[in-house]
Structure 1
Amino acid sequence: MTHDEPGLFDLPEVPPASPVLEDRLISSEQIATIRRAFDAAGIVAMTERQEVIQSCVIRKVSNIRELYSREVRQVLARIEGWGRKSEARSGSAWDNREEDTWIDKL
């Protein structure tokens, strides 16, 4: 190591990197997509819609327009799964199967 080279702790200052993901607010098209998903899932009460959205994000969201674009995918996935969890199933896994088996086709 020569005197011209920087030492271990004498490195040149590097400007901080800019964030990769920009926190953009949700677009009008994304709002329309979320509203259609709510309607398709049968979630019509505003309190239930807010509960679904709030379950996806860590921060307090009082209005759908406060969501960020990057959070839309999480919200849509939660809406899709929301109705399924409330369906009460009775019977065994065999009774609740979705597709016919070879036995059913006999």
Structure 2
Amino acid sequence: MDHLLPLFESDDNSSGEPQAMSTVMMSISQRDALKKAFEQLGVTDARGQFAIVEELTGQRIASVGDLEGPHAQTLIYKLADRIDSAGRKNTGNAWGDREEDTWIDKL
């Protein structure tokens, strides 16, 4: 069984030691997009924003600078969905609230 390659190690790691993953922090453009999205949602206080960050990404942050890039991108997409759905009324009727035509609508 010595011929099997380890699944979670890179090929250049000949020492067998686990490698640390580098953390990519959010970019300036991501920060700007998030600021705009929160403004559109009307969430202007840090406590409210941090709660939404944790709810949507699972990352708890103490300051904006703590937000990692991949989490920021997820947050941008999910905030955009919230902005899109904010203007729609939800009646509780899945058939009535559908956004796209079904095959039956197209007949």
- Structure 1 partner of 2:54: 54
Provide structure 1 residue ranges, at least 5 long, that are not aligned to the other structure.
1-7
Distance 1:22 1:91 in 2: 44
- Give the corresponding residue for 1:68: 68
**Partners of 2:54 and 2:45 in 1: how far apart?**
14
Distance in 2 between residues matched to 1:102 and 1:78, nearest whole Å: 29
Identify the residue that residue 3 of structure 1 maps to in structure 2: none
Residue in 2 that maps onto 1:45: 45
User: How many residues were matched structurally?
Assistant: 89
Change (3 A) 1:91 1:32: closer
Per the alignment, do residues 98 and 34 of structure 1 end up closer, same or farther by CA in structure 2, a change over 3 Å counting?
Answer: same
Structure 2 CA distance for partners of 1:96 and 1:64, relative to 1, 3 Å: same
Q: Deviations over 1:8-36 (max 9, x none)?
A: 5xxxx9223645x5213223222112111
Quote the RMSD (CA, aligned, Å). Answer: 3.3
- Equivalences for residues 11-90 of structure 1 within 5 A: 14-15=14-15, 16=17, 18-19=19-20, 22-55=22-55, 56-58=57-59, 60-82=60-82, 84=85, 89-90=90-91
Q: Which has the larger radius of gyration?
A: 1
